[in-house]
Structure 1
C-alpha cells in the first residue's frame, strides 16, 4: 500500500510508503500529515517521485517512490519512464518521434 491512511480525531491522516518491491522506506516516518497535499509537496521536495494515475493512464493508482528507488525520466521532457519500452538514449518515444534533440551532459 503506497498511501497509509488512518482516521484520528475525525480527520484523515496520511503517510507515504515506497512502492518499490521489498522497500519499506517511508517519508517522514515520525509524523503523520493531516493534509495530503502538504505531504505530497514535502515528499517531492525531499526527492520522492510520485507518478499520478491521471497523468499516467496505464497505472491503476498513484505510485510513490523514495529517492533510493526513483524511476528514470526522459532527459528531454522529464516525463517519468513508467514503461521503459521504446526509450532510447534516455528519451521517451514521443520526444524521439518529434525529433527533439537532447544534449548529453
Structure 2
C-alpha cells in the first residue's frame, strides 16, 4: 500500500498518499492515526478518496489509493472501477459492452 508508516512508542502510525504519478496529496486529517483501518475508512468517507483493494481487483499488484483529484472512472452501468482502461468506450467496461447493456442517461 502506498502509505507512510512510522513507529512511535511501539505502535505503527500511518498516513496514506495518492498513487497517481507526480501527485503529492496525502490524507492524514491533520494528525497521525494509530489504526490503519480507521484511517482508510476516514479517507474514503470523509475526504472522498478512492481505495482499491487487491483482493477486490485481482489485476492489481497491491492495494492502491487515489485522492479526489485523481479518482479512476467507474463504469457507467455496473460501477466497476476502470483500473485498466483497455477496451473502455463511452464510460462502459468491456463486459457491459459485450452484454449490450444500455447506458442510462439522466
- Mark yes or no: TM-score above 0.5: yes
Are the counterparts in 1 of residues 11 and 34 from structure 2 also a CA contact under 8 Å?
Answer: yes
- Residue segments in structure 2 that go unaligned for 5+ positions in a row: none
In 1, the alpha carbon distance for the partners of 2:85 and 2:104 equals 20
CA distance in 2, matches of 1:86, 1:62: 23
User: C-alpha distance in 2, partners of 1:29/1:47?
Assistant: 12
Q: Return the TM-score normalized by structure 1.
A: 0.90
| Aligned-residue RMSD, C-alpha | 1.5
Contiguous gaps of at least 5 residues in structure 1: none
Q: Which has the higher strand share?
A: 2
> In structure 1, what is the equivalent of residue 82 of structure 2?
81
| Contact 2:28–2:39 under 8 Å retained in 1 | no
Q: Give the TM-score normalised by structure 2.
A: 0.89
Give the count of matched residue pairs.
105
